[in-house]
Copies of this chain bind each other. A is one copy, B any other.
Amino acid sequence: MRRKIKLGQPLLIGYALVDLVGTILLMLPIASTEPGATDLMQAWFTATSALTVTGLTVVPTLSHWTTFGHVVIIVLMQVGGLGVMVLVTIIMTMLGLRIHLGQRMLITEDRNTYSMSGVIRLVRHIILLALVIQGIGAIIMGFLIPDVWEDGIIQGMLFLAFHAVSAFNGAGFDLTGQSLESFRHNFGVNLVIVVLIFLGSLGFVVLQELFMIRNWQRLSLHSRMVLLVTGVIILVGSVFFLTSEFNHLLEGTPLEDKIMTSVFQTVTRTAGFVTIPVTSWNEPFIFLMIIMMFIGASPGSVGGGIKTTTLGTVVLAVWSLVRGKKVVVFFEREIAPKSVSKAFAVVVMAGMLVMVSTLLLMTVEDLPLMPVMFEVVSALSTVGLSMGITSQLSPFGLILLGLLMLIGRIGIFTTVMILAGREKRQSHFMKENILIG
């Protein structure tokens, strides 16, 4: 038990260190195209946004940063995205999920401990898998975007690598100045980005199982929950966008283009790329996006939010309650009551944080509800979609959003670790009931 809690501290320190180094590197004059150094607040916000793979920006990524700056951002995105993948995957084994690494398991079954070689093997597996997926994505995009080579091989490869890394890590940073709007009608590029985002959002355990098992019946309960909830969200979001914008934003384009644009605008809920600017969307879809961002990606993935499994568990639990059932059942397995309690706690904590932050930001920045709540959820779930207010915020607002990104990236799984440690209960107080509801 103790070991789990202690994991939190080196993690926090490591995170802060990388954030600091990133900030310093981005403050170097060599990182900025403009004369002199980038100021502390802008560099910190950019480094934090990259490390938490959020994607909110205060300076234009393309024009403000040099190639050096772009490489720093790539590295921060990789470290931030894959780092969390490694850490959460280790935590998941602590919670009893069995992780296959070739013939061996991460955790040695007889003694229930980790060997150093097991952890190194896991890190190698994750990095390899990520690089292969990103590489394939980048290469395919190289063929689909002929004019990417106009500025030379190096710049072309940087452009492709930047967006493949940004997509798989769900970071949403771009080198175009207006997200992926110019690729809206390039079906192939849309597809590659959607697949990269989708794979990155599933989490390592699910990816492993998908590649190695390929049999729905034999997938773990966890993987089935992830795939089902992710599928339903993408379906609901895409159909909503398609029907509500059919005669508006999507008018005059072929049907497959309409569908791809709708899917893209939905899948981006964990990444932050757009092919149509957020402020053009209809208001109900913007609100639906707030809900979809709040839900977020899956555990052990590069994305944030309360997580698909949390939503799935809560919905099943509510459904059980409504039907008067005493246990929560999913595919003929009972979900452990402790998992159910955790799910409710995570939702409520995240919800309260959104409400309080929104109220605070509305008051201090004197901005209306919709864009503020959108930006708050986007930051907390490390999505990076923006209704355009981030660049006009006061330092207070920027610090608040930056903290939300960090909490969203670290806090939620630290919470899980603390919750995971709650096996034994000790109290010297008398118990007393309080009426609820």
Contact = CB atoms under 8 A, between A and B. Distances in A.
A436 B430 CA distance: 30
A369 interface: yes
Given A318-B352, A429-B332, A436 B324 contact: no
Q: Please indicate which of the listed interface residues A91, A300, A415 has the most CB atoms of chain B within 10 Å of its own CB.
A: A415
Nearest to A426: B326
B436 A339 contact: yes
A431 B336 contact: yes
Interface stretch (A75-83, A147-155, A250-258, A355-363): A355-363
A425 B310 CA distance: 22
A299 B433 CA distance: 13
Contacts of A369: 283, 287, 369-370, 373
Interface on chain A toward B: helix, strand, loop, or mixed SS?
helix
Contacts of A96: 433
A436 B327 contact: no
A56 interface: no
Contacts of A92: 435
Contacts of A330: 434
Interface of A: 5, 88, 91-92, 95-97, 220-222, 225, 244, 283-284, 287-288, 291, 299-300, 306-307, 309-310, 312-314, 317-318, 321, 324, 326-327, 329-330, 332-337, 339, 341-349, 351-352, 355, 358-359, 362-363, 368-370, 373, 412-413, 415-416, 418-419, 421-422, 424-427, 429-437
Given A299-B435, A334-B432, A348-B348, 5 more contacts: A222-B433, A288-B359, A314-B348, A324-B421, A419-B437
